[in-house]
Amino acid sequence: MSEAITPDPRAPRDPDDLLAAEYVLGVLPASERQAVADRAELDGALQARIADWEVRLAVLNAAYDEGPVPADLYPRIEAALFGDAAGSSVPERAPIRRGFGWLWAGATLIAAALAMVLLFWPQLQPATPTLIARLDAGATVFDARFDGRDLRVERTGAVAANGSDYELWAIGADGIPRSLGLLRADHEALATGELEEGVTLAVSVEPFGGAPGGAPTGPVIAAAPLTRSL
């Protein structure tokens, strides 16, 4: 005998619950979405389901700030999901009364939402700010630029003296310097991991090969905080 399948507690529980999930995800055609909004004003149970799904799906928006949306974005999403019918009146869907029909509708919802995400992901991605810092040591200047992945440092001026190296450090809120690498070439690309706005970059003069103990030992010749590029 086959084992009973345990329903996923996160999935829509019934047709109205599925409708609320579709409404919150934004995958309904405009006419159906308006119909759900009108019904929710009079139907407290549906309104509660919508509020519940807004809480459950809030994590999808947590990483994004509000921003302007291109005027043609929503019509393009509708066209991608519903074809030519998106721009015309959409016939009311037949109610799903019993059986597993609404489960198939749930699978269709997931597929449609996935298609929407894949198609419009570049436009939905929050822009990663570029952080910059100019470390001026007088005879030598270091211009740093962090694009969210790599830190690129351009040196203008004198190289380190024989037997010495310039070493770059990041100093966060804890005040502990963290080595980001040596600056030997005119242009360096360093894989630094995460760097945040306000972190201080500093350059010290160290013995050739870098500070032996993982902390600056020589003089710090320049320092500046990372700020957003205008």
How does pLDDT run across 51-75, given as a tens digit for each residue?
888 887 776 665 556 666 677 766 7
| Assigned token pair, 113 | 């939402």
Domain assignments of the chain as residue spans, ordered by start: 15-124, 131-228
Query: Which residues are CB-contacts of 82 (< 8 A; sequence separation ≥ 6)?
Result: 29, 90
The per-residue b/e assignment along 182-218, b for 16 or more CB within 10 angstroms, e otherwise, is bbeeeebebebeebeeebbbbbbbbeeebbeeeebeb
Query: What percent of the chain has pLDDT above 70?
Result: 66
User: Per mean pLDDT, which of 61-65, 98-102, 157-161 is the most reliable?
Assistant: 157-161
Q: What is the CATH number of domain 131-228?
A: 2.60.40
Global pTM reads 0.49
